């Protein structure tokens, strides 16, 4: 549930504590440490395929090429299946949030299974979308919407999790939701959509327009590929919100340089640029800004006033996952 101000439930100041120290450090060196921390925290099962796609005592889903265990790894009716995305780091952040939000009010973390395949994007053209300094070209947009190798791989992972005992599927990866419709097609399980989770929480917050006679406006900051996919805009508009995204000049001269500054570990430069990007949207009378990028999420320091106007959609996905798990365990 989103409170009226949304400052306590969304902004980065309330990120789970286990990752707060590593976010501004060398990510490569600290991913192993984070993995160990998360693994110790009620991780029911983490299943990571290697390049050969082999797992012990397994057989393959017909036509999928991905192994599944001979029997359900977990049999609880509220088991969550998590499809890892482009970044293993994103999966770790989501697991941290899932545990933290579960325990926040004295509850228990639901059982979950993670399927992480870091080789998924390595040899595919889609990788160029994450390293481009310019706007996405027409050809790249076609890759984004019609990349069947990725879609088929994600579908096989969905089947793998279902055969392993998952009863709800989530994807803690912004860009993977570009193919949510194809991956969830004919799926008998609950398959949460991060954009829908955010939009529903914002609707429940009963926000008031900042300008008389207009709808509530929500800003979206993200990498170009995520904005091109358009699913955040679609889900927000379906709930009656007007959506504001950065214009071409802001993307090329502020947002993309901010992401590049993060890669260079120039956090001061990234912080200055992201502050500008958020303020550009705020002056357009948006109520709040969705930062749909794990890289950008770590830039503004705790206590920055701008964080009170920003939300992390992964929090909404985690809360929706917990809500489903509680309802299911109670027979709902």
**Could you write out the three-class secondary structure of the chain?**
CCCCCCHHHHCHHHCCHHHHCCCCCCHHHHHHHHHHHHHCCCCCEEEECCCCCCCCCEEECCCCCCEEECCCCCCCCCCEEEECCCCHHHHHHHHHHHHHHHHHCCCCCCCEEEEECCCCCCCCHHHHHHCCCCCCCHHHHHHHHCCHHHHHHHHHHHHHHHHCCCCEEECCCCHHHHHHHHHHCCCCCEECCHHHHHHHHHHHCCCCCCCCCCCCEEEEECCHHHHHHCHHHHHHHHCCCEEECCCHHHHHHHHHHHHHHHHCCCHHHHHHHHHHHHHHHHCCCCCEEEECCHHHHCCCCCCCHHHHHEECHHHHHHHHHHHHHHHHHCCC
Cα–Cα distance measured from residue 176 to residue 162, given in angstroms and rounded to the nearest whole number: 18
Report the chain's terminal Cα–Cα distance, integer Å: 18
Cα angle 97-156-231, degrees, rounded to a multiple of 5:
55
Equal CATH topology for 80-194+315-330 and 198-312:
yes
Cα–Cα distance measured from residue 202 to residue 4, given in angstroms and rounded to the nearest whole number: 9
CATH fold label, 80-194+315-330: Rossmann fold (3.40.50)
Q: Are 163 and 138 in contact (CB under 8 A)?
A: no
Q: Are 232 and 222 in contact (CB under 8 A)?
A: yes
Instruction: Give pLDDT, residue 155.
Output: 93
The domain ranges of the chain are: 80-194+315-330, 198-312
**Tens-digit pLDDT profile for the chain (332 aa)?**
444 333 333 443 344 444 444 333 434 343 333 333 333 333 345 554 444 444 444 444 434 444 444 456 778 999 999 998 777 888 898 999 999 999 987 889 999 999 988 776 564 444 444 444 444 445 445 556 567 888 888 999 999 999 999 999 999 999 889 999 999 999 999 999 999 999 999 999 999 999 999 999 999 999 888 898 899 999 999 999 999 999 999 999 999 999 999 999 999 999 999 999 999 999 999 999 999 998 899 899 999 999 999 999 999 999 999 999 999 987 76
* CATH annotation of 198-312: 3.40.50.1860
Phi and psi (nearest 5°) for 37?
-65, -50
Instruction: Give pLDDT, residue 88.
Output: 81
pTM: 0.79
């Amino acid at each position: 549930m989103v409170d009226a101000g949304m400052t306590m439930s969304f902004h980065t100041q309330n990120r789970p504590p286990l990752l707060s120290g590593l976010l501004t450090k060398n990510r490569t060196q600290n991913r192993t440490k984070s993995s160990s921390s998360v693994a110790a925290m009620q991780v029911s099962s983490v299943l990571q395929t290697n390049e050969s796609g082999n797992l012990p005592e397994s057989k393959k889903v017909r036509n999928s090429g991905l192994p599944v265990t001979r029997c359900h790894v977990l049999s609880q009716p509220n088991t969550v299946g998590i499809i890892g995305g482009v970044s293993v780091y994103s999966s770790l952040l989501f697991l941290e949030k899932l545990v933290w939000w579960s325990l926040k009010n004295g509850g228990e973390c639901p059982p979950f299974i993670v399927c992480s395949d870091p080789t998924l994007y390595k040899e595919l053209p889609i990788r160029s979308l994450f390293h481009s300094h310019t706007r996405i070209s027409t050809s790249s947009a076609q890759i984004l919407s019609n990349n069947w190798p990725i879609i088929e791989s994600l579908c096989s992972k969905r089947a793998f999790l279902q055969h392993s005992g998952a009863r709800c599927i989530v994807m803690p990866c912004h860009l993977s939701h570009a193919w949510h419709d194809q991956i969830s097609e004919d799926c008998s399980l609950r398959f949460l959509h991060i954009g829908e989770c955010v939009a529903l929480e914002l609707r429940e917050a009963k926000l008031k327009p900042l300008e008389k006679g207009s709808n509530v406006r929500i800003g979206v900051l993200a990498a170009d590929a995520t904005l091109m996919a358009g699913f955040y805009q679609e889900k927000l508009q379906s709930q009656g919100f007007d959506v504001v995204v950065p214009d071409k000049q802001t993307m090329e001269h502020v947002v993309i340089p901010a992401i590049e500054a993060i890669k260079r570990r120039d956090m001061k430069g990234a912080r200055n640029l992201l502050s500008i990007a958020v303020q550009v949207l705020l002056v357009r009378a948006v109520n709040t800004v969705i930062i749909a990028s794990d890289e950008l999420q770590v830039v503004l320091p705790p206590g920055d006033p701008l964080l009170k106007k920003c939300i992390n959609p992964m929090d909404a996905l985690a809360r929706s996952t917990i809500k489903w798990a509680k309802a299911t365990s109670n027979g709902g």
